[in-house]
Structure 1
Amino acid sequence: MGDLPGWRQVYVEDFSQDAALGSFPGPAYEGRWTGYEGFPDTSEAGLYSNTRVVSVQDGVMDLHLRTENGQPLVAAPIPLVHGRWGGQLYGRFEVRFRADPVHGYKTAWLLWPDSDDWAEGEIDFPEGPLSAEMYAANLLVGSPGVFDVKTDGLATFDEWHVATIEWTPDAVTFLLDGEEVGRSTSSPSTPMHWVLQTETDHGTPPADEEGHVEIDWVTVYEMG
Structure 2
Amino acid sequence: MAGPSRLREDDPLRGRRPPVSVGACGQEEGIAMGSHAAARRRRPVVLAALGTTLLAALLSIPSAGGAPQSADACGGVGAELPRGDCGPFWQVVAEDFNGDRVPLGGFSDCDHHADTSAAYCGGLKGSYRDNWWAYPAGWRDTSNDRGRGVVGVYHPEDTVSVGPAENGDGRMRVRMWRPDDGGPVHAAAVVPRAVMQMKYGKYSARIKVTKPAPGYKSAWLHYGGGCEMDHPEGNWSGDLTAFHHPCGGGEQGSFQGADEWTEWHTVSTEWTPGNVRFFVDGRQTGHDTRGVPDHPLSWVLQNESALEGPGAAPGSSAQLEITWVAAYAYDWK
Q: TM-score, normalised by structure 2?
A: 0.62
1:78 aligns with 2:188: no
CA spacing shift, 1:95–1:147, aligned 2, 3 Å: farther
Matched positions, count: 214
The residue that corresponds to 1:2 in the other structure is 84
Alignment of 1:46-125 (within 5 A): 46-58=152-164, 59-68=170-179, 69=181, 70-81=183-194, 86-99=196-209, 100-113=211-224, 117=225, 119=226, 121-125=227-231
CA distance, structure 2, for counterparts of residue 124 and residue 189 of structure 1 = 16
The residue that corresponds to 1:151 in the other structure is 255
Q: Which amino acid aligns with 2:289?
A: T
* Consecutive aligned runs of 4 or more in structure 1 exceeding 3 Å deviation: none
Alpha-carbon distance, 1:153 to partner: 5.8
CA deviation profile, 1:123-155 (whole Å, cap 9, x unmatched): 000000000001011101101xx5431013623
Alpha-carbon distance, 1:202 to partner: 2.0
1:179 aligns with 2:283: yes
- Retained in 2: the 8 A contact 1:148–1:184? no
Q: Which one has more relative contact order, counting CA pairs under 8 Å at least 6 apart?
A: 1
Aligned alpha-carbon RMSD (Å): 1.5
The residue that corresponds to 1:31 in the other structure is 130
Q: Which amino acid aligns with 2:207?
A: F
Alignment of 1:7-26 (within 5 A): 7-16=89-98, 17-24=100-107, 26=124
CA deviation profile, 1:26-48 (whole Å, cap 9, x unmatched): 10410211111212100021110
CA distance, structure 2, for counterparts of residue 125 and residue 65 of structure 1 = 19
Q: TM-score, normalised by structure 1?
A: 0.90
* SS of 1:30 mapped into structure 2: helix
Q: Which runs of 5+ in 1 are unaligned?
A: none
- Retained in 1: the 8 A contact 2:257–2:279? no
The residue that corresponds to 1:40 in the other structure is 140
CA distance, structure 2, for counterparts of residue 74 and residue 221 of structure 1 = 27
The residue that corresponds to 1:221 in the other structure is 328
- Retained in 2: the 8 A contact 1:101–1:132? no
CA distance, structure 2, for counterparts of residue 154 and residue 136 of structure 1 = 10
* SS of 1:75 mapped into structure 2: strand
CA spacing shift, 1:222–1:49, aligned 2, 3 Å: same
Q: Percent identity?
A: 34
1:168 aligns with 2:272: yes
The residue that corresponds to 1:132 in the other structure is 238
Q: Which amino acid aligns with 1:185?
A: T
CA distance, structure 2, for counterparts of residue 161 and residue 137 of structure 1 = 17
Q: Which amino acid aligns with 1:158?
A: T
Q: Which has the higher strand share?
A: 1
CA distance, structure 1, for counterparts of residue 191 and residue 257 of structure 2 = 26
* SS of 1:194 mapped into structure 2: coil
Q: Higher Cα Rg: structure 1 or 2?
A: 2
